[in-house]
Amino acid sequence: MHLLMIAGLAFAAQVKPEEFLRKAVVEGLKEDGADRAFVKDNIADKRELFVLKCPICTPVLNGFIDYGSAKGQPAKGKGIPKDIVDDLKNPARLVQLKALERLVDRYVASHKDRLKLTDAQRQELQAKLEDGKKTGMEMVELGRQKGFDFCPSCSGATKAK
């Protein structure tokens, strides 16, 4: 039990939600073997899919930017799931937002598994992500950015338990 507490404290000191989220996106895209041009054109360059100054959206967007602007070929993989790709190409903004939410959820969940987080570490990270989501939604209410009934990055990041 004592060892688990120490491991949890070490996790909290080492992994910040911002870095966790950025890496979750980059590693997820690598694992999928996502097309860099598609990521750049359909996600990274579409700032209207992200809430300004949101502590969840910023690192998620940075992950997409990092991957989309990286040089070289992506790893071999199936790519981003076809249903998500199709929805990201859909002209309806709400459909795009829901697709981004599913993609972020997918990458956050797989990154938690990749890191082999304990239940305590997952709970701690989840609490930090929930706090970030609360701040992000406050940014929507306070800011001039309209058209967000929900934040796809926040909803995707906090959905993955």
Query: Residues in the chain with pLDDT < 70?
Result: 1-14, 74-75, 143-146, 160-161
pTM across the whole model: 0.86
Spatial CA neighbour of 108 closest among 46, 66, 59: 59
C-alpha 16/C-alpha 72 separation (Å) is 28
C-alpha 86/C-alpha 113 separation (Å) is 27
Q: What mean pLDDT, rounded, does the chain reach? A: 86
